[in-house]
Structure 1
Amino acid sequence: MKSTNIIYKPIFIISIIVLFLASTSAFSIILFLINKKILFNTKDIDLLKLIFQTSFTLMGSTLSGLVALLVFSLQFRNQKKEKDEKQEKYYNLIENEYQLNLKEVNDLYESLQIFTTSEIATILISANNNGEKTTEVKELLNIFISKMEFTIFDSKKDEISFENYINNINRWRRIKRIATYLNKCTNELTQKDNIETLIELSFREIRELLSHRN
């Protein structure tokens, strides 16, 4: 989810500046030392020829450095392109999974509109206490729970772009909470008040999701 483009672009620019300054400084130091007769005695050598030869060496080193930076830049661009494509692929997979889950949530919500939350809780507590498996509401909820799928979301949510993660994580988590709440109501809780509370919370979450449906 981290944006590497923000990090590497300044590094590339700084590297070029440092290379240029280093090359210029090295050449200036060499000329200074020659001029002060620390490295060479200018009476014994052709200073112009030496400067000319040194310039070509310096230019060759500079060009080699620039080529290396160019190769690095191209490699980074290719890696970033591959990463962006992979992030977009994972985002699309998660979104497709979410849309399928959202359809199941919508269908369930419409089916349960004929009942109040209290009636649903009463039906579920009766089924749980008597060990019945055939009540219409409980079967409906069990089918819903079995259809809900979060495999891609759980495994790939951290591999999408930071922007897509921030923009979508709340609704993705909300639909998972709904499935968790309804599963507890159907298969775990035994007290009517607790079941009714979670059903009301689930319905509130569902209405929020559907109100922002694309």
Structure 2
Amino acid sequence: MAEAERIIDTPDIPDAEGADGAAAQQPAEGTAAPAEASDGEGAAADGTGGGKGKRKILVLFVVSVVAYLLDLISKMIVVAKLEHQAPIEIFGDWLKFDAIRNAGAAFGFGEAFTIIFTFIAAAVIVVIARLARKLYSLPWAIALGLLLGGALGNLTDRIFRAPGVFEGAVVDFIAPAHFAVFNLADSAIVCGGILIVILSFKGLDPDGTVHKD
């Protein structure tokens, strides 16, 4: 009788253990996995996101330095070799190098507002520096780098060239036919501005997010 009871009761013991074991293990697995995933995602967001942001700032810095140095060196050569000299023809009458001093904005506009343009350039530099902290987009880094390098190039002329501090005339030398004379800083500013317009139309923000209007 005892043996019969043992045989009848035996199948119930593994089932009960299995049910208890499954009930005990399943919540543990279910709760552990989301916790690990959330920790992993948080680490990725903290580590990878921060690293990407630093790389974009580095790109902005490199682009701005290259644009600034190219503008500065070209102006030094122009002042030393071309100023007070006859224009140099590059492509006949279509493109010449003709050194002039420009007291206005890019492409010779607004010569009566030299000091205003100086402070505008300084304000642009400050805005870009503040925006760089939230920069996670490579195209935006390049665009802002071009703007920053160009603004620094012309601001250097405003501060250090004659006739005086904040009133200095910018050195321009690229003279296409039927167009205003400009320099490499102006080119960098225009290219950066065009790129920003394109990125804005595409809905790409400096922080890397894309919005749809």
Please, what TM-score do these two structures have when normalized by structure 2?
A: 0.40
* Larger proportion of strand: 2
Q: Mark the structure with the bigger radius of gyration.
A: 1
* TM-score with structure 1 setting the length: 0.40
